[in-house]
A and B are shown apart, each in its own frame.
Chain A
Amino acid sequence: MVRTIIRHQWLLLLRDRRARWGGLALAAITLTAFVAGSVRTERQTAERARAAAENASNWDRQGVVDPHGAAHFGHFVFKPVSPLAALDPGTDDHLGTMVRLEAHRQHAASALPDGTGAALASFPAVSPAFALQVFAPVLLILVAFGTFAGEGPRQLLRQELAGGVRPGVLLAGRFLAYAAGVGGLLMLGGLGCAVWLALDGAAAAEFARLGLWLAGYGLYLIAILALALGISARCRSAPIALVSLLAFWALAMLVAPRLAPSVAAALYPLPSAPELDLEAGDDVNERLDRGQTVQTRPERLRKMAMDKYGVARIEDLPVNLSGLLLEYAEEQSTAAYREHFAAVYRRYAQQDAAQLWFAWLSPLPALRAWSAAMAGTDVAHHRHFLEAAENYRHAFVQALNRDILQNRPAGSSNTVAYKADVAKITAGLGTFAPSSVSLRDAWARAWPGLAALTAWAAAMTMFAASAARKLARLT
């Protein structure tokens, strides 16, 4: 019986102009968005690879210079583009793409991918994720709202039920017909993406990420479909069903996704960039008893140096005092900046948790979090890159400080007196190449999103099933 209903529903779907044209439009939008996204990510990948190579050559061409001057010249490192960013740019368009690495301070990422600043940038960019998150539910609603609603007054439902089919079976059959269509289209799209990944030489983990990414969308669309059928089964009139579903769509897909982060930001406010800068700087100054020049370093630091090397006078130190103090200062400033940035990320985590509460109102915040996590374009992936950059910064600055400590004449604080080939000093560190976030780590952080989507799909399916029991009333 269910098979017959599915076949019949498929026939109706194929005949339905709304479904045909809507489906084609959605496929065209998604495909165009994917092509535009992959062109963009390819351009960004090439630009960043070129910039990274230029940065390495700039570092090497400094030649023989003051190592501390070189530590201030520093590096610029560029954020790698995730292979799945063409599917979902996530928060990448709103995060910096490069980080300046220099002595004494940890910079945040700067230079947004698109700093054009026209009003167009205030509208969401087109991407396959956006098409599936916002447009696909509309299409499902437009196709499914009249599945049961309006059949009652037209006596069609009475005829169907008079044929001996139970309302639950009827709803299940129609649900499965739509779900098969949704699943088939997702699998087709997924297959295309897998081929594209394979041609791009992606790692196996990327295929797994793609599969999980699609699974999230599958659950999301199932939830929307079940809701549409449930509402359709509960409403006597088709326009009322349509308006109710569109109202849900407007609330859940337009309002809730913007409401969630703004409420979270109001609950857990963040400092401004100048405030963070100032507070971290004050903290560093406090740790280092600043306010005094290098020449009049506080006695505490001198004593610390003498204790470390077991000498009674500064002049007896076997190493260069400036190098020693630079090394110590770097440890202190690194600790201070890491602490302040960690506090910012703790706030981000609190905001993320607050946003997830909006998953009760709409499945979209949960899907967005899951989708960006699987595509490698969420804040966690950005943080991973920043931490790798910070570790690299600390390593190269301390390598230069150690060189000063060991090789600059012991009593000298004159930067002109000692110069070294900085490229040789930092050769052991290699070029900056951050590792990618493992799937296990991404999963560990993002699973609440998938759990919320599963809960939505289950709840909406139960709602549809309960609505089916009331179908007979419409007759």
Chain B
Amino acid sequence: MRTFTAILRFELRAALRERTLPLLFALFACALAYAMGNGLRWAAARTEAFDHVRRDLAQQHGQALTRFRDAETRAASRAVSPAALAAGIWYRPTLPLAPLSFVAVGQADRFPFETRFHPTNVRAVFAPRPVSIDHPAESAAGRFDVAFVLVTLLPVLLLVACFDAWVRDRESGVARLLLAQPVSVAQLVFAKILARGGTLLAASMALLAAALVGGAQAAGLPLDVGGLLVAEAGVLGYGAFWLGVAALINLTVASAAASAVAVGATWIAVVGLAPAALGAALDLVRPPPDMGALVNTLRVSDLEQDEAEARAAAETRAAGPRGNALEAALAKTERQKRARAELRAPFEAQAAARLHLANTFRLFVPSVALQDTLERVAGHDADRALSFQQQVWSFIDSLHHFIRQPAPVASAKSSLDERYAAVPRFAFVAPAGPDRLGPLKANLALLLGASGMALLAAGWLARPKLTKKHHG
């Protein structure tokens, strides 16, 4: 161990003298700073979008309250109940930003972050609407966010730092002299990789932690310490995987040029080709649901339902005086909701099967696993977005329940504003427990497992019987 530490210290001094490490770290810092700025800009734009939603809703509620106030003035003896108030206004539930939302834009533009509905008409809930009108070139090229820097650029920098760590000594003949000393190849290779790549990785992780803390403060969001630790653990696993790859390549190729080719090819395979190939396989095995067919199916159902409702209304009118109009409207909405849920079920099942397969595929490739980790930490993953949709449907149920309850007699003293305050509001509850931790644990296990395997394989290649080969 003492020998290893001595080699490590020597290599570290040598690496710092070469100025490669500071240069690579400076590059990482620049990329991270830009990505942070970009992520914060995106988060600010999304916050502004929330403000517009709130403004629009406040305007609508203001108009509704004016109507109610006028009605109360006209019939001074009748106060509008909170249930009637709840049934007479629009709702716009929103999916709030997660504390580390600036880390990765992820799937934020693929799922709705807000929806609108009236308690007596839920057809518009999550109707197809554009989520973002940003220039599509931005999402087509990929966002320059922190996730991009960590998943794509950090490995490049680690590989540049380490690609010739040992191979250069072998090429120049220095390895022969070094191995004449009482040290093993494994000690030399791992000390060199650790001194170069390990130092760069540790410095990058420290900078990342500082950036995330600073970013949360700048965005005015609370600091998610758990999320930060998960992100750091993911980066550590991913970085260690690439250091293992670098060690493996250093031990298997004979020249620096061949090593550069090999690390480049591995990087392309892991970061570019494998995810693209899995994406193509996903398309072939589980194509996405046909949204056009879904829309048409729902429209046919709406037409049929409207015709049936119109017939029923005509019959009711013919039979005698009308019952409770609000109750009738709620019953109609319930029927709409049930009919739509039945029609959507096969499409949602197809989408869920596709998502499940895509989530399984992520565990084959470390780059996708880290991307998924960072998207989950940022709260821009499919599971959180789908949880939002489920919570909105549950909220609609609870709202209907609130409206249906025998209306409590509004106190003559309670103002309209006080009764309005009693109307249920949607509040998103972020998934916690196994729902959130399960996928994160799987990602971290994959990343740490992959790095462990790469390092073990390198250790196996560097075992003493191969020493002869490394003499050059």
Binding site for B on A (CB under 8 A): 18, 29, 32-33, 36, 39-40, 43, 47-48, 50-52, 54-55, 58, 61-62, 73, 76, 78, 90-91, 93-98, 100, 107-126, 130, 134-135, 138, 142, 145-146, 150, 238-239, 242-243, 246-247, 250, 254-255, 257-262, 264-266, 269-278, 344, 347-348, 351-352, 355, 368, 379, 382
Contact = CB atoms under 8 A, between A and B. Distances in A.
A351 B135 contact: yes
B128 A111 contact: yes
B346 to A, nearest CB: 15
B143 A258 contact: yes
B140 A54 contact: no
B18 to A, nearest CB: 13
Interface string B90-132: 0000000000000010110011001000000000000011111
B466 interface: no
Contacts of B358: 116, 118-121
Contact of A259 (B144, B295, B359): B144
Given A119-B381, A272-B45, A126 B279 contact: yes
Interface string B56-82: 100000000000000000000000000
Contacts of A255: 31, 153
B299 to A, nearest CB: 5
B254 to A, nearest CB: 13
For the residues of B in contact with A, the DSSP-based class is helix
Contacts of A382: 136
A254 B49 contact: no
Contacts of A116: 110, 282, 288, 351, 354-355, 358, 382
A78 B294 CA distance: 13
Contact of B143 (A32, A262, A275): A262
Size band of the interface chain B makes with A: 35 or more
A273 B359 CA distance: 29
Contacts of A36: 280, 283-284
24 contacts: A76-B295, A91-B137, A95-B136, A97-B291, A111-B291, A113-B288, A115-B291, A119-B375, A120-B282, A120-B362, A120-B368, A126-B276, A126-B280, A239-B257, A246-B260, A250-B153, A259-B34, A260-B141, A264-B137, A273-B130, A273-B132, A274-B49, A277-B52, A352-B137
Contacts of A239: 164, 255-257, 260
Contacts of B53: 274
B19 to A, nearest CB: 15
Contacts of B284: 36, 39
Contacts of B282: 116, 120
A51 B296 CA distance: 7
Contacts of B210: none
B327 interface: no
A285 to B, nearest CB: 10
B147 interface: yes
Contacts of A134: 272
Contacts of B277: 32, 126
A36 B287 CA distance: 12
B130 A125 contact: no
Nearest to A22: B265
B257 A117 contact: no
B149 to A, nearest CB: 10
B361 interface: yes
